[in-house]
Amino acid sequence: MTVASEVTLHRPVKTARAEGPWSVEAVQALLDMPFMDLVHQAQTVHRQHFPEGDIELATLLSVKTGGCPENCGYCPQSAEFDTGVKAQKLMEVDEVLRAAKAAQDAGATRFCMGAAWRAPKDRDVEKVAALIEAVKGLGMQTCATLGMLEPHQAQALKSAGLDYYNHNLDTAPEYYTDVVQTRQYQDRLDTLAAVRAAGINVCCGGIVGMGEQPVHRAGLIAQLANLDPYPESVPINSLVRVPGTPLADSEPVDPFEFVRMIAVARITMPKARVRLSAGRQQLGEAVQALCFMAGANSIFYGDKLLVTGNPDVEADVQLLRKLGLQARRTQQVEEPCA
């Protein structure tokens, strides 16, 4: 028997629904597609909505590190876990501005500021607003992730010039309490609603490799894709197993399963920037290339993500060059996804 008789060549690509609402079953059907068919479909959707094929470079800075009272099982900044991360106060404006200018000079167009709070106090929001105004003055897109927000706090951040707010759903609702016990899934959704109501673009994704089952991965994508509208930025993280956290001994996610998540995010949220986020170091160049083929078009850029490692700038420049990919040059905020 020849190889050609064992494998069906040029198999017609199955087409799934491209518009919501997306059921968990519909998302699971995508995740279960033959790998090459799935990537082909995702690449087709990607080219339709992002014909320029550019890669957005975003830099993330921890402006307030450690001491968070939450018990998120993946996070080295939780005060409940002994990970060696020391609690630090909020950075000063001039420190943040220097970091943002360095990121801009290295090619980043979006600057993200993260603070390890469960929920900021109003006085904290006032201080972060000053950071946002300073970074915005450089002409960069601004993003912040500060924990749960009240509607008036989201409005204050919008007034300061915030373009994007990151608040990840992490996983499917039915698996959430296996990862976090100090807040409810609805708390996350309420913050996203407050951000939307304030007119701020949403950055929202999740983490793969926390011991979840395939149905939970499908559930996460369904939750994201059914937000109205779905997020403008969708970070997909591969768990970084940090010693001292409850998830430190989790089984590494299969690289092809991670690529499948990227592809399904692209198909279900065709206009979003799908971002390769935490865990890129452990993926390696070949898997990252598959992710770009599957529709990823944004990366966190710089040698650190909050307190965990990330490929250095020169490594990313070389990888994009090898693949013939161009970094996004414009700093204009994209239109909300419909």
Residue 51: cis peptide before it, omega within 30 degrees of 0 = no
Active-site annotation holds for 266: no
* Distance in angstroms (rounded) separating the CA atoms of residues 256 and 13: 19
Report how far apart, in Å, the C-alpha atoms of 46 and of each of 49, 51, 155, 254, 272 are.
5, 8, 33, 23, 10
Active-site annotation holds for 204: no
From the number of C-beta atoms within 10 Å of its C-beta (0-12, 13-18, 19+), residue 42 rates as buried
Active-site annotation holds for 68: yes
Structural tokens at position 198: 């304030």
Catalytic residue among 143, 204, 291, 337: 143
**208, amino acid identity:** V
Contacts of residue 106, defined as CB under 8 A and 6 or more positions apart, other chains included, come to: 57, 59, 301, 302, 313
Report how far apart, in Å, the C-alpha atoms of 166 and of each of 71, 143, 148, 188, 303 are.
19, 7, 10, 11, 20
- Please say whether the beta carbons of 183 and 149 come within 8 A: no
* Distance in angstroms (rounded) separating the CA atoms of residues 300 and 108: 9
| Residue 266 CA to its chain's centroid (Å) | 13
Catalytic residue among 217, 260, 266, 275: 275
Catalytic residue among 196, 203, 291, 337: 203
- The set of catalytic residues is 68, 72, 75, 112, 143, 203, 275
